Amino acid sequence: MLLDYIPPELRRPTGRRKRGRRGGIRNRLRRRHTRPPLPSIILSNVRSLNNKIDDLRTHARYCSDFREASLMCLTESWLQPNAPDSLFEINGFTLTRLNRDANSGKCKGGGICVYINDLWCRQFTVKEALCDSNVEMLCLTLRPFYLPPARLRWLQPLSRTRCTDFYKNILTHLP
């Protein structure tokens, strides 16, 4: 039956409903904020995290969109390798970062920071960290607490070979 695949928190009660009660999918999703069906990601180009870390901590503490975000990905962090992670910690989040190094040929800017919400995921590994003159890339494997069930996809026969070749090309370059 179709209802077997819907999590119990999202199912509507079968009995009579009291008047004045808030309903809807949005409110049901808010009740399960630590287990979203899809991760919520905040992406921002901060252009120097040093002078914005206090604002980011304030948003993470008082704004529910930031506090309940699964990931906060920040580009252009401009952090130096000698700066300790403890200066940039946010309560409830784990920091992973990639600083621009001297091998990239660029001296100013760059850097990637990823804050991972502890309520959403604590197991993660850095698969690849790449910093050169063209690209800065930080590949993470995340294992969240709540894993939604897998879904099947069907591709049209003509596009199937193109998509398969594209995915094979990507997967062969990753370790």
Q: What number does CATH give the domain 36-147? A: 3.60.10.10
Residue 93: band (very low, low, confident or very high) from pLDDT cuts 50, 70, 90: very high
- Asked whether the predicted pLDDT for residue 85 surpasses 50, the reply is yes
Domain definitions of the chain by residue range: 36-147
**Residue, of 164 and 74, whose pLDDT is higher:** 74
pLDDT score, position 44:
94
Residue 137 has a pLDDT of 87
Say if residue 99's pLDDT is above 50.
yes
Q: Is the model's pTM score more than 0.85? A: no
pLDDT at 156: 52
pLDDT tier at 101, thresholds 50, 70, 90: confident
3 state SS for the chain:
CHHHHCCCCCCCCCCCCCCCCCCCHHHHHHHCCCCCCCCCEEEEECCCCCCCHHHHHHHHHHCHHHHCCCEEEEECCCCCCCCCHHHHCCCCEEEEEECCCHHHCCCCCCCEEEEEECCCEEEEEEEEEEECCCCEEEEEEEEECCCCCCCCCCCCHHHHHHHHHHHHHHHHHCC
pLDDT-derived band at 109 (thresholds 50, 70, 90) equals confident
